[in-house]
Amino acid sequence: DTGVSQDPRHKITKRGQNVTFRCDPISEHNRLYWYRQTLGQGPEFLTYFQNEAQLEKSRLLSDRFSAERPKGSFSTLEIQRTEQGDSAMYLCASTPREGRVYFGPGTRLTVT
């Protein structure tokens, strides 16, 4: 257990539904990342927060995706109008600075 928690751990949804995931980083970490990992691939960067500010977004983050980190604490990732291609493991990670990055256990999303 790295200290980064994610909820839910698994989510099954029907195509077209909206889903929201939550990440609770290690409390003193001001930097938070979201990554997506598909089967047989390495994680791919989605977005980055420093405190409450979303400073960077990947091209992978389409308009259907939105992320927030109110008050610089927990973060949420919402996917609207889910598609089968959104099926993946969504990983949250936090770090106090450059260097060691702590990943959470991930949320496994299955879109049917």
Residue 49 has a CB neighbour count (10 Å cut-off) of 22
> Given CA atoms 55, 63, 85, 11 in this order, what sign does their dihedral have?
positive
104: contact with other proteins by CB under 8 A: yes
By CB under 8 A, name the one of 8, 15, 55, 60 that touches other proteins. Answer: 55
Collect all residues with Cβ–Cβ distance below 8 Å to 72 and sequence separation of at least 6. 30, 49, 51, 52
- Tell me the window of 12-20, 44-52, 62-70, 73-81 that interacts with other proteins (CB under 8 A): 44-52
Q: What is the rounded CA–CA span in Å between residue 111 and residue 8?
A: 15
Please tell me the distance from the alpha carbon of residue 104 to that of residue 5, in angstroms, as a whole number. Answer: 5
Is 67 near other proteins (CB under 8 A)?
no
Of 11 and 104, the one with the shorter C-beta distance to other proteins is 104
From 14-22, 33-41, 64-72, 78-86, span contacting other proteins (CB under 8 A): 33-41
Interface with other proteins by CB under 8 A: which residues? 2, 4, 31, 33, 35, 40-45, 48, 50, 55-56, 91, 93, 95, 98-106
